[in-house]
Structure 1
Amino acid sequence: MAQIASLQIVQLTVTGFSCFADEHSWTFGRRTAVTGHNYQGKSTVADAIAYALTGAPYFGGRDLDRLQNGASANMRAEIAVRTEDGQTHVIRRGRHEGKTFVSLDGVLMTLERFAERFGSRDLILSLLNPLYFAEVLGGDGRKLIEQYLPAVPHEAVMEKLSEHMRGVLGDDRLEMPEVYLKEKRSELKELEKDRLVLDGQMQQTDSQRARLQKELDEKKALLAHTAAALAPLARKQEACNTSAIQTQIAELNAQYDTVSEDHAEHERVRLQAELDAAQQRQYESAGAAQLQQMQNQLQLLYSKYDDEVGRLRYLQQQGVCPTCLRRLDGAAFPEVQAAFTQRLQKIQTDGTALRQQSEALAAQETQSRLQFEAQKAAEISRLATALQTLPTGVAAQQRDSIKAKIKELSAALLLGGLTAEEAQQYQALFHEQGKLESEMEQIQKLLSSLPRGQKEALDKLDEEIRAINDKITAAKAYQSERAARLFAPVKMRRAGLKLYEPMKESGELRDVFKLTWDGRDYVRLSLSERVRCGLEVVELLSRLSGKSYPLFVDNTESLCDLGAAQHGGQMILARVVPRQTLQVKALDEPQRKAG
């Protein structure tokens, strides 16, 4: 089916359309004036022509209910057009029971077939309405013009780019730069998202490593202090001559046995032995192991509570889950925060219960120790009193002296040459040293288990992001150069196309598609300037598409003239005439004056 290159409206008939409930018909010439007072139907004529040709109002859109007369069940617009071959065709479009139909010469057509014959909706409305291209299509007008421009060879564009940019783009397919840029920006977004996650993970790892290293350094300092305090005691133990002490004890034991004994002396020996045993008897705790276990569990709960508090603080400050390191949206954040709060409450509850149990057990142990000490003191007092009541003899005095020396030497042998106070200090320091070494070993294991290579992975992501940004920069340069070459044939008189402009924040040039008039942006133009600018766009589209379609210029009372644009097709001029009913009149002679 051949495409229509030129058409002229001969007659327009509407029924149930906007302010025309009944059937109305008007005849059009090559130049036609549509005049009348406000609310007489001038804009309705424009909408009816647009609806018949495209199925949309004069300014596009889908609000067809606005076009239908409120008192009418159906709506119809019919135009008789004369094409370039001199034949007359009838286009009829309407709504019947909510369904739209379109026919050509009485034959129903699909919207796709109609567009193949007459052109797309945007093209027809851009040719009919001089304001449609700029004010409705805006930036999308680029696509409409591009489909009528000759393709720009890829090699010609690449030649204009720098060697670096050509190397960056390589063999990438750039038939559609906007699609390429969209894909690269999507890749960049994903890479930046991955970088954000990895950076969060690395920050958490660094924080954990710093905390563990700080703890390790503190433990090392404590260990050095403990070792320094333990060293002189250890040297004193090493200097102790145990063989000589053992020899002295053996000699004293032999001497002790040679001392004569009698009944009183035997009794003294027995009582003294019991007294010595009572004095050396130590309290044996039944719950010490359990109490120590409870203390260890409490320390673990304290550490776990501090760790959970730190993770919750990280969540609240960063808005990132400390477990999966994904940034949380508004719906997931309260749920994760509540989970942390619940865990903290459970740890606190468990710790309180365990502390209370520990305190109860410690109190019980204290009571048992006091009872033991009281019984021990009573036993010692009894035996000491019994000894004092025995008669004292020379043998007893000798044995007591020998026994005292043996006891002194045995204590020295047992404590390795240390005093009781030094031995107690030695045991405490030795225990503390072992505890610190064990804790340091655990910290070293935790440090070794932390993830490695995150910095290298982050650097790799940064390199990929830089490469993508380079491709985006090169593709934008390619797009700009291609657009400049593609739109080079687009020549108008005072109207122009702006393809790029600087960004306010950075001054960087960005791709745009805007109309200008004498170098000024379209948004700054007056109504008359916008119409004149639109007329030049209509002339351009007619030339590029090869179509000569009707042009409807509304509000021409605001125009002194139509500018320099030359429209070779049918022109319909609408203007307000006070206190006049609607008139549609074909003009005998073409007129350049709009008002």
Structure 2
Amino acid sequence: MLVRFNTLTLQNYKCHRELEVKFGDLTKITADNAKGKSSIPESVSWLFYGTDALGGKTDPTPITYGADETLVQLLLSVDEKQLLLGRGLKKGKTQYYINEVPSKAGDFNEVVEQMFDKDLFLSLFNPSYFFTLHWEKQRGMLLQYVSAPARKEVLKHLPETLSTTLEKYLKKHSLDDLEKIHKDNKNRKDKAYIAAQSKTKTLQEQLGMIKKPEMDIDSLRAESDELTKQIQEADELPAKAWENNKKINSLQNEIQFLAEQRDHMKAQFPALKNEQINDSCRTCGQSLDEESRSKAEEDKSKRIAEFKKKYDGIVLKRKELEEELSKLEYIDATEQQQKVRELEATRDKLMDQIRIYDRYSSLHTQVKNAEADEAATLQDLNASIFILDSIKQFKAKEAELQGEKVQVLFTSLSIKLFEELKNGDFKPSFEIEMDGKGYRKLSLSEGIRAGLELRDVLSKQSELITPCFVDNAESITSFKQPNGQLIISRVVAGQDLKVEVE
């Protein structure tokens, strides 16, 4: 897109009551200080955006005189199609005009936005404007038209081991996701590896506290099994004696209990036998008739019969138990029990040795497993570290290649797109240097040349050509002619405002 300024008309704009500027390929504005040179380009930015040429606030109203209305109109051509835009200020209210037709702010802004982006236009129109932007905005504007190097191109410049590994993983995940995955895994495996090392060390220390048993464990186990068999055989008699003697003691206790029951019933029987039948009821006290008395005697006889039956049962039961007891004989297994204890003592000594061996063997196995787990954790950790290092190298090479793609656009400027951190990572940055000096350290003339070179790169990359305004042109002896119309402003002592067109 080619944008050209044709005619600028100012009415009551700052120090200009009435001013018409016709622009050519080269427009020279000369005058002494405070004669309104800078107001001319400022009026253009105020017309488009309501700001000065650096994007700041500005007051367009007259400075040394009074007026009811301020008006700026610019006849421009966009790809040879003419457009007349106007912005005015009347009684504090902004007015807009499109081809002399009063318009709404939204319609006016839409026309301007369709032509060009604000930051891009102001950077092309006033090269100093670009350097007022935040570095992220500057970086974004420049890289907007420079594609990042392709992944395959970056991988091609890396060592084969790195590129092969990354290429395999990048088929499944993006570079950022892959980095997140392995940063998370590295953090987890760092902790897991420390824990694994601690576990291995603890187990090794525990193993070191046990002297390695020098023994034929199979012979010990066989000997222990044989002793267990002998103990089981030797324990048969004591077990049998215990059951037999337990039975004798139980019968003796039961016979004694039955004898006590029998003697107690003998003592109770005379009272039951000699019990008198009263003439009155034992419960209610009423006199008993013949029938009732007969029933009472029957009840007594019945209770005596039941008593005798129970007594006879006890006597019979005791006799049966005595007969059973007479068939049993107390077994003395003291010697056999002593033999069992001696066998068990011998076996216990063997079992102590076997337990020491088993403890040592178990710890030895745990140490081997812990060492294997530690090695596997370290391997997993190192794999993530390798991938993260590969990603760092990928980003470093990507930054280098992207920097080369940007740098080739410039002749005298150096562009820094990335900053390397202490940990080897790269973070986006943006800095412009000329002859090893940052923009803020450049002289006025150096700053103008830097701005013009960057302005031309932006113009070529965006394919937008606009007029270019160079202020303080007297401070620079020569510079490369920018594409598009050139408007220069110079201070000439003692001279009134003068506009010349070539």
Using structure 2 for the length normalisation, give the TM-score. 0.51
Aligned to 2:444: 527
Aligned to 1:364: none
Please give the per-residue CA displacement for 1:186-241, whole angstroms capped at 9, x wherever unaligned.
Answer: 77887788789x69x979xx8xx99xx9xxx9xxxxxxxxxxxxxxxxxxxxxxxx
Aligned-partner Cα distance in 2 for 1:54–1:160: 46
Q: 1:81 to 1:115 in 2, by over 3 A?
A: closer
How far 1:125 sits from its partner (Å)? 1.3
SS of residue paired to 2:402: helix
CA contact (8 A) 2:98 2:108 kept: no
Aligned-partner Cα distance in 2 for 1:193–1:472: 16
Aligned to 2:30: 35
Q: 1:530 to 1:557 in 2, by over 3 A?
A: same
How far 1:89 sits from its partner (Å)? 1.4
Q: Say if 2:31 is the partner of 1:11.
A: no
Q: 1:37 to 1:455 in 2, by over 3 A?
A: farther
Aligned to 1:514: 431
| Alignment counterpart, residue 124 of structure 1, candidates 121, 124, 129 | 121
Aligned-partner Cα distance in 1 for 2:182–2:67: 55
User: Residue type of the partner of 1:552?
Assistant: F
Q: 1:58 to 1:467 in 2, by over 3 A?
A: farther
How far 1:475 sits from its partner (Å)? 3.7
How far 1:39 sits from its partner (Å)? 3.5
Aligned to 1:541: 458
| Alignment counterpart, residue 486 of structure 1, candidates 405, 409, 430 | 405
Q: Say if 2:476 is the partner of 1:476.
A: no
Q: 1:95 to 1:137 in 2, by over 3 A?
A: farther
Q: 1:193 to 1:67 in 2, by over 3 A?
A: farther
1:557-576 matched pairs, under 5 angstroms: 557-561=474-478, 563=479, 565-576=480-491
Please give the per-residue CA displacement for 1:243-300, whole angstroms capped at 9, x wherever unaligned.
Answer: xxxxxxxxxxxxxxxxxxxxxxxxxxxxxxxxxxxxxxxxxxxxxxxxxxxxxxxxxx
CA contact (8 A) 1:14 1:24 kept: yes
Q: 1:469 to 1:559 in 2, by over 3 A?
A: same
Aligned to 1:26: 20
| Alignment counterpart, residue 77 of structure 2, candidates 82, 85, 92 | 82
How far 1:572 sits from its partner (Å)? 1.4
User: Residue type of the partner of 1:531?
Assistant: I
How far 1:555 sits from its partner (Å)? 1.3
Aligned-partner Cα distance in 2 for 1:479–1:127: 29
User: Residue type of the partner of 1:469?
Assistant: L
Aligned to 1:159: 156
Please give the per-residue CA displacement for 1:111-139, whole angstroms capped at 9, x wherever unaligned.
Answer: 77435532211211111112233453545
1:58-207 matched pairs, under 5 angstroms: 58-60=53-55, 63-64=56-57, 77-85=72-80, 87-93=81-87, 104-105=98-99, 106=101, 108=104, 109-110=106-107, 113-114=110-111, 117-136=114-133, 138=135, 140-149=137-146, 152-170=149-167
SS of residue paired to 1:131: helix
Aligned-partner Cα distance in 2 for 1:528–1:33: 18
CA contact (8 A) 2:148 2:402 kept: no
Aligned to 1:53: 48
How far 1:549 sits from its partner (Å)? 1.0
How far 1:536 sits from its partner (Å)? 1.9
CA contact (8 A) 1:59 1:132 kept: yes
Q: 1:126 to 1:192 in 2, by over 3 A?
A: farther
User: Residue type of the partner of 1:529?
Assistant: E
CA contact (8 A) 2:32 2:493 kept: yes
CA contact (8 A) 1:27 1:584 kept: no
Stretch of structure 1 that moved more, 48-57 or 528-537:
48-57
SS of residue paired to 1:80: strand
Q: 1:464 to 1:134 in 2, by over 3 A?
A: farther
Please give the per-residue CA displacement for 1:144-164, whole angstroms capped at 9, x wherever unaligned.
Answer: 233334675443333223323
| Alignment counterpart, residue 500 of structure 2, candidates 566, 586, 594 | 586
Please give the per-residue CA displacement for 1:471-529, whole angstroms capped at 9, x wherever unaligned.
Answer: 54034134224414633651x443343445777x6899876543333454434321101
User: Residue type of the partner of 1:577?
Assistant: V
Please give the per-residue CA displacement for 1:553-580, whole angstroms capped at 9, x wherever unaligned.
Answer: 111221222x2x1224221111223344
Q: 1:155 to 1:143 in 2, by over 3 A?
A: same
1:322-471 matched pairs, under 5 angstroms: 466=385, 469-470=388-389
Please give the per-residue CA displacement for 1:21-60, whole angstroms capped at 9, x wherever unaligned.
Answer: x854331322223333333433333322223234443122
Q: 1:189 to 1:165 in 2, by over 3 A?
A: closer
Gapped regions of structure 1 (runs ≥ 5):
218-453, 590-595
Aligned to 2:236: none
CA contact (8 A) 1:130 1:534 kept: yes
Q: 1:162 to 1:456 in 2, by over 3 A?
A: closer
SS of residue paired to 2:453: helix
CA contact (8 A) 1:32 1:584 kept: no
SS of residue paired to 1:13: strand
Aligned to 1:495: 413
User: Residue type of the partner of 1:32?
Assistant: T
SS of residue paired to 1:529: helix
CA contact (8 A) 1:91 1:104 kept: yes
| Alignment counterpart, residue 551 of structure 1, candidates 464, 468, 472 | 468
Aligned-partner Cα distance in 2 for 1:461–1:94: 70
CA contact (8 A) 2:407 2:414 kept: no
Aligned-partner Cα distance in 2 for 1:51–1:468: 53
| Alignment counterpart, residue 577 of structure 1, candidates 471, 489, 492 | 492
User: Residue type of the partner of 1:566?
Assistant: Q
Using structure 1 for the length normalisation, give the TM-score. 0.44
User: Residue type of the partner of 1:38?
Assistant: N
User: Residue type of the partner of 1:143?
Assistant: G
Q: What's the Cα RMSD here?
A: 5.3
Q: 1:475 to 1:13 in 2, by over 3 A?
A: farther
CA contact (8 A) 1:59 1:129 kept: yes
Aligned-partner Cα distance in 2 for 1:153–1:572: 40
Q: 1:509 to 1:521 in 2, by over 3 A?
A: farther
How far 1:73 sits from its partner (Å)? 9.4
CA contact (8 A) 2:126 2:468 kept: yes
SS of residue paired to 1:531: helix
CA contact (8 A) 2:51 2:58 kept: no
Q: 1:569 to 1:482 in 2, by over 3 A?
A: same
SS of residue paired to 1:57: coil
SS of residue paired to 1:42: coil
Bigger radius of gyration, 1 or 2?
Answer: 2
Q: 1:474 to 1:33 in 2, by over 3 A?
A: same
CA contact (8 A) 2:155 2:394 kept: no
